[in-house]
Amino acid sequence: MNPSDTQQKTLGMVLKGFPRISETFISNELRLLETMGFRIHIFSMRCPRESFSHDSVKEIKAGVTYLPETMTKGLPALLWHTFMLMLERPGRFFSGLRMLGKRFALAPKKYTWLKHFMQAAFLVRKAKGLNLGHIHAHFAHTPATVGLYAAHFEGVPFSFTAHAKDIYTQAPERIMDKIDAASFLVTCTQYNKRHLEEVVRSAKPVHCVYHGINLDLFSCNGRPAKASAPYSIMTVARFVPKKGLDIILRALARLREKGVDFRYTLLGDGALRDEIKAQVRDLGLQDVVDMPGTVTHDAVIERFRTADIFVLGCRQAADGDRDGIPNVVAESMAMGVPVAATNISGVPELVEHEQTGLLCESESVDDMEAAIERLLTDADLRARVIPAARAKVEAVFNNKELIRDLGEIYKSHGVPCGE
């Protein structure tokens, strides 16, 4: 008997980057899937870009293989492994090349699709000895493309999880061909599920599983419902257009003009940092806005303990990008910090207006201003929202239960598990 027939098969996870500070949901998923008996190996398309990682990453046992990131520095390795794969598996290589040819016409940046083809060849050759039984990719854009080719080369089933930007910033037909090749797909909101079924017209079942959070880390015990000035307002977000940070700042400037006494903490970083700092200066908010940059998850939790309200101004960006359900919204609700957010995408699936938080129209400074002021000053509203929000998160966003559900979905589609 071939030893590979008795060795537990490995679930290969293709990720855009690992670890990433903004993707605690992925590290939590990997950690919990391992406790269910899945043997995982991570294939990351990028090396870490932050100088630190969350504690949950340290608990993950999976090995990590980093794929060459660019066609400049990585070209010799990519060419070598692609050439060797052609010699070792000519049938699968040339059928994969025909697949690339059919998909090539859909590519706005054709050189990147050639890179993804070669990254998949690199992945498969580096996976020798892992006994891959299935390849799953997180995100429907480049990781799914690499996963699609790698699974074809390896002759194993392929699946992927679609999240947010990866769904809405590429044409439906570019997702559809990956769906056609997938044994199943997962997404993280009902809003996404409807889009994949109705707009992309997925012929495969779309499993909706929320990311969830580790409720053991969050407690709202002892938090008084009433808030008092100077109020502590908080946001955690990447500094990108879809987060609507400019709307929040304009609403805060109006509140200050009305005499509302507050301090605002904006945690995170990103491409718009200089623009946001300039807006803070132009609005005269320098003395009440703190921008400490990206911090650890533990530090975020500490900030929640003293916050009176959490604010997020999610919008649909010009390129179609939008959020799913940001985990920080669920974390805030679990900590007893009332949420004011916009009614974009999957956010209303967790923040129910007047019940578990307040929702406002995207792009409306008036609505945002009113929502923030109400949640700061209306003690009866806060007393009603805080326990209801915690109960909602406990009911639908417990990651231990959700990852068990996800694991059962994997097993129902034949993904190998050693349980």
Extents of the domains making up the chain: 3-212+399-412, 215-396
CA angle 121, 125, 126 (to 5 degrees): 115
Q: Which of 242, 377, 257 is nearest to 312 (CA)?
A: 242
| Segments of 31-177 assigned E as strands | 40-44, 63-66, 132-138, 158-162
Question: In percent, how much of the chain has pLDDT > 90?
Answer: 79
Q: How many CB atoms lie within 10 A of CB 225?
A: 15
Pairing outcome for strands 63-66 and 40-44: parallel
Q: How many CB atoms lie within 10 A of CB 54?
A: 19
- For 404, the token pair is 């068990």
CB 18 within 8 Å of CB 30: no
Of residues 189 and 224, the one with the higher pLDDT is 189
pLDDT confidence tier of residue 275, bands split at 50, 70 and 90: very high
Q: Which of 344, 312, 349 is nearest to 328 (CA)?
A: 312
Going by the DSSP 8-state scheme, the letter that residue 96 receives in this structure is: H
Buried b (16+ CB within 10 A) or exposed e, 106-124: eeeeeeebbbbbbbbbbbb
Compute the distance between CA of residue 294 and CA of residue 273 in angstroms, rounded to an integer.
11
CB 194 within 8 Å of CB 167: no
pTM: 0.89
Whether 3-212+399-412 and 215-396 share one fold: the answer is: yes
pLDDT confidence tier of residue 223, bands split at 50, 70 and 90: confident
Burial class (CB in 10 A: 0-12, 13-18, 19+), 413: middle
- Residue 5 in this model has a pLDDT that exceeds 60: no
Residue identified by tokens 């994997």 is 410
Compute the distance between CA of residue 209 and CA of residue 213 in angstroms, rounded to an integer.
12
Residue 53 confidence (pLDDT) = 60
Bridge partners, 266 (sequence order): 235
| Segments of 16-67 assigned E as strands | 40-44, 63-66
List Cβ neighbours of 318 (8 Å cut-off, separation of 6 or more).
Answer: 241
Per DSSP, the three-state class of 8 is coil
Q: Encode pLDDT of 21-62 as tens digits.
A: 767 788 889 999 999 999 999 999 998 876 656 566 788 999
The string of DSSP letters for 315-354 reads ---TTS---S--HHHHHHHHTT--EEEE--TTGGGTS-BT
Q: How many CB atoms lie within 10 A of CB 191?
A: 22
Going by the DSSP 8-state scheme, the letter that residue 9 receives in this structure is: P
The string of DSSP letters for 345-359 reads TTGGGTS-BTTTBEE
CB 193 within 8 Å of CB 169: no
Pairing outcome for strands 184-187 and 158-162: parallel
Residue 225 confidence (pLDDT) = 85
Q: Encode pLDDT of 339-376 as tens digits.
A: 999 999 999 999 999 999 999 999 999 999 999 999 99
215-396: CATH superfamily: Glycogen Phosphorylase B; (3.40.50.2000)
Residue 55 confidence (pLDDT) = 65
Q: Which of 348, 314, 312, 352 is nearest to 332 (CA)?
A: 312
Per DSSP, the three-state class of 127 is coil
**If you classify domain 3-212+399-412 with CATH, what class do you get?**
alpha beta
